[in-house]
A and B are shown apart, each in its own frame.
Chain A
Amino acid sequence: MASVDTTFTRRKVLRDELVGLYGVVERNLYLTKRYFLWDLAFLLWTIANTLTIVFISRGVDLAPAARNELATKLLVGGVIWAFLGIIFEIVTETVAWERWEGTIEYTFMAPVSRPVHLIGMGVYAVIYGLVRAAAIFIAVVAFIGLHLPHANYGAAVALLAIASISFIGVGMMTAVLPLISPEKGTQLGFVAQGLMLVVSGVYYPVSVLPSWMQWIAKISPATYALRGNRHQILEGAGLAWADVWPLLVIGAFSIPIGLLVFRAGERYAKRHGKLKRSG
C-alpha cells in the first residue's frame, strides 16, 4: 500500500506553526529592507500630513498652554491614524502583495494554518507600526516644539499594543477583500480605517458626534486608544482599566470574527477560482 506517514505529534505541529509565524515576520523584514527608501518616503509624507493637522492648533487664538494641549490632542489623533493605517495595510497585504508577486498559490497551498499566517502578519504590523508611530511622534514634537513634561510613554505604547489586538482582528476582516475583489479590495481596507476613526474622535471629542455615532464609538477600539493615549501623553496617566477592559473585550471578539470572515472569504475564493495570481 502507498502509505506515507502523516502523523505528527502535537509538539511538532506547534513547533511547525511557530516556525511558520517566524517565516511571515522574517519575510516582511526582508521586504522592508528591500523597500527601505520607499518606506522612508512614505514616512516623510505621513509626517507632513500629521504636521498639516497639528498646525491647525497654531492658527487658533488660545493661551499657550491650551494651544499646546490642542496640538498634542491633534498629534495623538494623527499618530493613531497613521498607526492604524499601517496595521490595516500590512494585514491586507496578506493577500494583496502575494497576488501581485504571484506567490499566492504557493503560500495558500502550504501547510501552515491561516490563523498563524494572519497573526504573523499582525505581529509584524504592530512592531513596524509602533516604530513608525514613534518616529512620527518624535519628528512632529521636535518640529512644532511641543512641551510634554508629564508624558507617560511606556503606558502609551502598552495601550497601543493592547488596542492592536482589536485592530488586527478588524484588519483580518478587511484582508479578505482582495480575495473577493483583486482590483478594489485593498482600497476598501482604507474605508474601514476611515469609518473607524471618524466615530472614535480622531481629532475631536466623541461628545461632539451625533448620538447614534457615539453609540458606534463605544464598540470601536480606536475610541479607547485615543482617549487613553491623550491622558497618558498630556497628564502622564498610567494604563487605565477603563480603557483596557473594553479593548480586551473587543479584541476577544474581533480576532475570532476576523478569522471566521477570512476563512469564509478563502472558501469563497476556492469555490470560485479566485485564489490565483491573475484574480
Chain B
Amino acid sequence: MSSSSAVDVRDLSKVFTRRKGLIHRRRRAALSGVSFTMERGECVAILGQNGSGKSTLVRLLSTLLLADAGTAHVFGHDVFKEPRKVQRLVNRVSVEASFFKKMSAAENLAYAARFYGMGPRETHSKIPVILERVGFPSARRGEAMENLSRGMQQKVALARALLTSPVLLLLDEPTTGLDPRSKQEVQTFIREIRLQHDSTILLCTHDMKEAEDLADRIGLLDRGELLFIEPVGDVKERYAVETLEEAFFAATGRTYEDERTEDDEEREVFA
C-alpha cells in the first residue's frame, strides 16, 4: 500500500449472484481486479455506463459491501477490517437524495449528524450555516422534504455530507436528473468544497463534461474493469481524440449503435 495515498484500492473484485430458478445461480462480476490510488485533496472522476460498476465501487468504499477479493484502504485504514474508522472519514452524496420525507431538512440533518457524535447544541448552530452555504433558503429548513424540489433535496444531501466534515467525499452521480440550473449550482459547490476544504473527492458520473470540468484525473470503468485512470489531456493524447466521448468509444471498442447484451442488463441490476 502506498503510504501517501488517501485512497488505495488493489485488485478489488465483487461478484453478485442471482438465483435463476430453484437450482441455477448466475454470477455477474460487478468489479474485476480494480486498482487505483488517490492523493489527498485530489478529485478523481470515474466514468462509466449504467451497470459499469461505479456504484459498486462507491458502496464498497462506503463499507456497505464486502469485497470478494482485493483490498481497499482509506487514509491507511482497511475498509473491510476497520469499517468504523473509515466511516468517520467518509460521507457520500448519491443520485437519490434519500431522506425521511415527512421530516424537515433540519430534522433529517440532525438525525444524520447524531450518528457522527453531534449533539443538539452543535447541530442547532451548524445546520443553518451549512444550509445557507449550499444555497438552501434558511426559512424552508422546517419544511417537510416531500415538499421540496429535486434540486433542493440534492442541496440538503450535499449539506448532510458536509455537516460531518468528511475527508473523503464520495459523489455517486450527484447531478443526474437535476435541471441545468440546479446542476450548475451543485457543480459550483463541489468546486468550492475543493477550494475551501481539505476533502478528497471521488466523483462517479456518466456526464463526461462534468468529469472533465471537475476532476484532476479521469478513470473509465467498463463492465467492471478499470480501463484507465489518468489526466484528461493524457487520455485524449493516448487515444488521439478530441473528446472524452471519443476516448470512451476508442477504449471500449464499442459504438453507440452496439446493442447492450443480456449480461449488460443483468450487470446494471446488480452493480
Contacts and interface: CB of A to CB of B under 8 A. Distances in A.
Given A34-B103, A35-B102, A6 B88 contact: yes
A3 interface: yes
Interface in B170-229: none
Interface string A244-279: 000000000000000000000001001111011100
Nearest to B108: A103
A124 to B, nearest CB: 13
Given A19-B119, A20-B117, A105-B62, A3 B75 contact: yes
Nearest to B164: A110
Nearest to A107: B115
B36 interface: no
B40 A6 contact: no
B20 to A, nearest CB: 15
A15 B90 CA distance: 20
Contacts of B112: 106, 110
A23 B164 CA distance: 15
A147 B62 CA distance: 58
Contacts of B98: 101-103, 105-106, 277
A178 to B, nearest CB: 16
Nearest to B271: A273
Contacts of B231: none
B163 to A, nearest CB: 12
Contacts of A31: 100, 102-103
Interface size classification for chain A: 35 or more
Nearest to B88: A111
A2 B75 contact: yes
Interface in B41-100: 56, 59, 62-66, 75-77, 84-85, 87-90, 92, 94, 96, 98-100
Nearest to A29: B107
A276 B59 contact: yes
A30 B107 contact: yes
B264 interface: no
Contacts of A34: 102-103, 144
Contact of B65 (A15, A16, A102, A275): A275
Nearest to A2: B40
Contact of B99 (A20, A103, A110): A103
Interface string A1-36: 111101000001001100110111011001100110
Contacts of B116: 16, 110-111
Nearest to A16: B117
Interface size classification for chain B: 35 or more
B5 interface: yes
B64 A109 contact: yes
Interface in A92-128: 101-103, 105-113
Interface in B154-175: 160, 167
Interface in A211-253: none
B252 interface: no
Given A108-B64, A270-B66, A19 B103 contact: no
A103 B100 contact: yes
A112 B63 CA distance: 13
Contacts of B90: 109
B248 to A, nearest CB: 26
Contacts of A107: 115
B160 A273 contact: no
B117 A102 contact: no
B72 to A, nearest CB: 13
Contacts of A112: 114-115
Contacts of B3: 1
Best-buried of A23, A34, A101, A108 by chain B (most CB within 10 Å): A23
Contacts of B85: 6
Nearest to B107: A30
A25 B63 CA distance: 24
Nearest to B60: A270
B10 to A, nearest CB: 16
Contacts of B40: 2
B148 interface: no
B266 interface: no
B238 interface: no
B153 to A, nearest CB: 11
A113 B116 CA distance: 11
A109 B169 CA distance: 13
Contacts of A271: 65-66
B130 interface: no
24 contacts: A1-B4, A4-B89, A15-B117, A16-B116, A22-B119, A35-B102, A101-B101, A102-B99, A103-B98, A105-B59, A106-B98, A109-B64, A110-B87, A110-B115, A111-B88, A112-B115, A270-B63, A270-B64, A270-B66, A272-B16, A272-B17, A273-B16, A275-B64, A277-B98
Closest 6 CB pairs of A and B: A23-B114, A16-B117, A110-B115, A102-B98, A111-B87, A34-B102
